Copies of this chain bind each other. A is one copy, B any other.
Amino acid sequence: MRLHAVDLRKLKINDPFWSKHVNLVEETIIPYQWRAMNDLIPDAEPSHCLDNFAIAAGKKSGGFYGAVFQDTDIAKWLEAVGFSLAAHEDKELEKTADRAIDLIAAAQQEDGYLDTYFIIKAPERKWENLCEGHELYTAGHMMEAAVAYYQGTGKKRFLDVVEKLADLLCETFGPEEGKLHGYPGHQEVEVGLIKLYRATGKRKYLDLAKYFIDARGVGENYFLKEMKRPGYQNITPELLDYRPEYSQSDRPVREQTAAEGHAVRAVYMYTAMAELAYEYQDQELMDACVRIWDNIVKKQMYITGGIGASGILERFTTDYDLPNDCNYSESCASIGLAMFGIRMANITRDASYIDTVERALYNTVLAGIALDGRSFFYVNPLEVWPDNCMERTSKEHVKPVRQKWFGVACCPPNIARTFASLGQYVYSAGEGELYVNLFISNQAEVDLGKAAVEVSIETRFPFEHVIHITVGKVPEDGMKLAVRIPDYARDYKVSFAGEPVNCQVEKGYAVLTLKEDAALTVSFDAPARFVRANPNVRADCGKVAVTKGPLVYCLEEIDNGKNLSELYADTKQEIEESASELFGGITELIFRGKRIEESAWDNGELYGEHPLSLTDVTLKAVPYAYWNNRGMGEMSVWMKELV
């Protein structure tokens, strides 16, 4: 039996590191996005999202405006609201959300169809351009939102809407004659259908998800067939001259060996594949998941947990191709990597998946949002020189400062729903067993099948590495408690009331059997360290990064002066860890290094023989997650190493 996430209504996060981020969802992001979707923010690009629904419902006149997947804005918002209401009651917010759900329900057509782009703009072209139309993608987000809203509030209205939609999908798609044998251009509906199956118990939703995965990439490519049909209309000019590997549909998924194509599409699909491999006990599918996962984390992932190296088409490229200053590494892709990873961990009970989930959450996902919650990175470079982040150049996708909410916004609401559901990553629960994955202070009641236990974590992780765990209401026949030992931990210790205990280690978890209520302390060392990349990563050869625990650090111009490329780290010296009040309290890392002297070049020559001359400097690094919270400037994760 796989492990599962805990009920978010029964988990309260109260963490010195995370709460300031998680609280932004309720305090800032949800209200801001609501205003954005209602076009109430001056100077912002128009959204028209709710107007599209009103027009589709016949309550307003006018045309469709926005991206073909504009509907997903309200879906992701409702999903975040659902998670948020699970944690904290908010009658006003709930009322607003209910009204939005009423509007969505009113826009839904008789047969269950629900996509305002096609309802308003192209009713005759429904399901005709799965490649670009995003109808299934949108449906998937609606399903995820409805399930979250149902679980957060207990209200079924939205769930009814998406069931009707899902029923239509079941009638429309499938292997049977007379049905469309297509699959989504942007995967997402699979995850939605699986969640809907879990919420409703209706097996046909799971079967449809499996159909979409099984059909993908088999035989003649469905999208290329669509494009040959008379009357085909292109929606996205960049997708003319389509290559199926962009959407992982060039081969059957079970034959895929490496992550390829658009990174967000990819990880959303792998997430569904992992779920289905478990549900259908499909070893071949599980093998594909393991193979692709290994390819990502061993060959295509940034040290920050970013994935998708190419700015053009936001895609995976090839093994070890990880340029630092022109990568895409979309925030949403790292969120998808965390989604994939937590499922793999829950199926395999292997903590190494969590090491990567944690890497993505503590670095790329967290960097995606400013400390004030009002601006966002879609693209997450590891090295930035603001001067060359210019429009209409090869670096046009790289922004040196976080951007305000866009007219078309995928990352901000995705970050919001991830923060709002962070509790799902903290624990995994099974029959009489509780796994502690992440070290985030909280109180929770966790259902372990026959009984529910009370558990709490108290810690100042990631800057300190002492984790106090209490477990109450331990069932009489005992329970298993498994606490993750992160890959970076040294001298891992578990103690009860100060008394060290030895415990067995299973796949990266320290495993204990509790017979009664217990208060234990887990501690380990996680000193700051210099980390290198596999030399096959050409971009990082001869360079080092500094990390502490799950946090990757970076140099910023404000701390280290202009031109970070001139700096060398002296890795033979110790890294000093220094407490700082910055960013609400962090550990800064201070170490010795050298800087290339510029004085020989004062005459302005571009090339010359001036010998390299170095001076001593002290370098200061801060968590990558917090870069660009002190104005615009250069930033770099990787530094040259003195040899």
Q: Which residues of A contact B (CB under 8 A)?
A: 237, 243, 246, 297-299, 301, 303, 309-313, 315, 317-321, 323, 325-326, 385, 387-388, 390-396, 529-539, 541-542, 545, 563-566, 568, 571, 594, 596, 598, 601, 604-612, 614, 640-643
A395 to chain B, nearest CB (A): 8
Give A538's nearest chain B residue, CB to CB: B565
A44 to chain B, nearest CB (A): 20
Give A313's nearest chain B residue, CB to CB: B392
A553 to chain B, nearest CB (A): 13
Give A311's nearest chain B residue, CB to CB: B394
Give A245's nearest chain B residue, CB to CB: B392
Given contacts A541-B566, A568-B542, A640-B542, contact A534 B607 (CB under 8 A): yes
Kindly report how many copies of this chain are found in the complex they form together. 2
Given contacts A313-B392, A606-B298, contact A642 B643 (CB under 8 A): yes
Give A533's nearest chain B residue, CB to CB: B607
CB-defined A-B contacts under 8 Å, sample of 23: A243-B391, A246-B392, A298-B605, A301-B606, A303-B607, A310-B392, A312-B394, A317-B390, A318-B387, A323-B326, A323-B394, A394-B394, A531-B607, A534-B606, A535-B566, A535-B598, A535-B601, A538-B563, A538-B565, A539-B565, A541-B565, A642-B643, A643-B643
Name A394's contact: one of B310, B607, B640 (CB within 8 Å): B310
Given contacts A303-B607, A532-B612, A642-B643, contact A243 B601 (CB under 8 A): no
A330 to chain B, nearest CB (A): 14
Given contacts A541-B566, A541-B596, A542-B568, contact A608 B313 (CB under 8 A): no
A491 to chain B, nearest CB (A): 16
CA distance A246 to B571 in the complex (A): 45
Name A326's contact: one of B326, B536, B594 (CB within 8 Å): B326
Check B609 against A532 for contact (C-beta < 8 Å): yes
CA distance A594 to B640 in the complex (A): 16
Check B396 against A312 for contact (C-beta < 8 Å): yes
CB contacts (< 8 Å) of A387 on chain B: these are: 318-321
Give A610's nearest chain B residue, CB to CB: B532
CA distance A394 to B318 in the complex (A): 12
CA distance A548 to B529 in the complex (A): 42
A53 to chain B, nearest CB (A): 30
Nearest 4 pairs of A and B residues by beta carbon = A310-B393, A538-B565, A541-B565, A321-B388
Determine the main DSSP class of A at the interface with B: loop
CA distance A394 to B605 in the complex (A): 31
CA distance A566 to B541 in the complex (A): 6
CB contacts (< 8 Å) of A643 on chain B: these are: 568, 594, 612, 614, 642-643
CB contacts (< 8 Å) of A246 on chain B: these are: 392
A12 to chain B, nearest CB (A): 34
Name A315's contact: one of B315, B388, B393 (CB within 8 Å): B393
A262 to chain B, nearest CB (A): 10
A329 to chain B, nearest CB (A): 12
CB contacts (< 8 Å) of A313 on chain B: these are: 392-393
A390 to chain B, nearest CB (A): 6
CA distance A379 to B306 in the complex (A): 29
Check B606 against A312 for contact (C-beta < 8 Å): no
A246 to chain B, nearest CB (A): 7
CB contacts (< 8 Å) of A385 on chain B: these are: 321, 538
CA distance A392 to B608 in the complex (A): 37
CA distance A20 to B315 in the complex (A): 43
CB contacts (< 8 Å) of A533 on chain B: these are: 606-607
Check B601 against A534 for contact (C-beta < 8 Å): yes
4 other contacts beyond A313-B393, A315-B392, A594-B643, with CB at 8 A cut-off?
A243-B391, A310-B395, A311-B394, A534-B606
CA distance A400 to B341 in the complex (A): 36
Given contacts A392-B243, A568-B542, A604-B298, contact A609 B317 (CB under 8 A): no
CB contacts (< 8 Å) of A529 on chain B: these are: 609
CA distance A596 to B310 in the complex (A): 27
**Residue among A303, A394, A536, A563 with the highest chain B CB neighbour number at 10 A:** A394
Name A534's contact: one of B309, B534, B571, B605 (CB within 8 Å): B605
CB contacts (< 8 Å) of A532 on chain B: these are: 607-610, 612
CB contacts (< 8 Å) of A571 on chain B: these are: 611-612
CA distance A230 to B99 in the complex (A): 45
CB contacts (< 8 Å) of A563 on chain B: these are: 535-536, 538, 541
**Residue among A317, A640, A642 with the highest chain B CB neighbour number at 10 A:** A317
